[in-house]
Amino acid sequence: MSQDHATDLLRRVKSVNGHMRAVERMIEEDAYCIDIIKQIQAVQAALNKISVKILDNHLHSCVVTAVNSNDARERERVLIEISEVFEAATKV
């Protein structure tokens, strides 16, 4: 992962942390429920964006390396790994 990519991801994670502190504060202050839900949805969207960026990096680095490899087991391993990530994402 490049330093710029890592810096961007860390910036996004710190932003999510700030939003989570806001959710905590809103709950403590008995804020309007819909406002809390909207804040939580913003956190979820931000986390999804972080996941997409990490997955994109993984696909363009680790997966490309494995697919170009002569090791069939390694190719199969990364494909299974990606399938498992998507399967886990659909379980709520």
What tens digit of pLDDT does each residue of 37-52 get? Answer: 999 999 999 999 999 9
Alpha-carbon Rg for the chain, nearest whole angstrom, is 18
Mean pLDDT of 47-72: 92
- Is there a contact between 69 and 75 (Cβ–Cβ < 8 Å)? yes
Query: How many domains, the chain?
Result: 1
Asked if pLDDT for residue 92 goes beyond 70, the answer is no
CB burial string 44-59: b at 16+ within 10 A, e below? eebeeebeeeeeebbe
Q: Cα separation of 43 and 18, whole Å?
A: 9
- Closest by Cα among 55, 62, 63, 53 to 88: 55
CATH number of the domain bearing residue 49: 1.20.58.1000
With 0.85 as the threshold, say if the pTM is over it: no
Stretch 8-23: mean pLDDT: 96
Average pLDDT of span 14-41: 97
Domain range for 68: 3-90
Q: How far, in Å, are 4, 66, 89 from residue 23 at the CA level?
A: 29, 41, 23
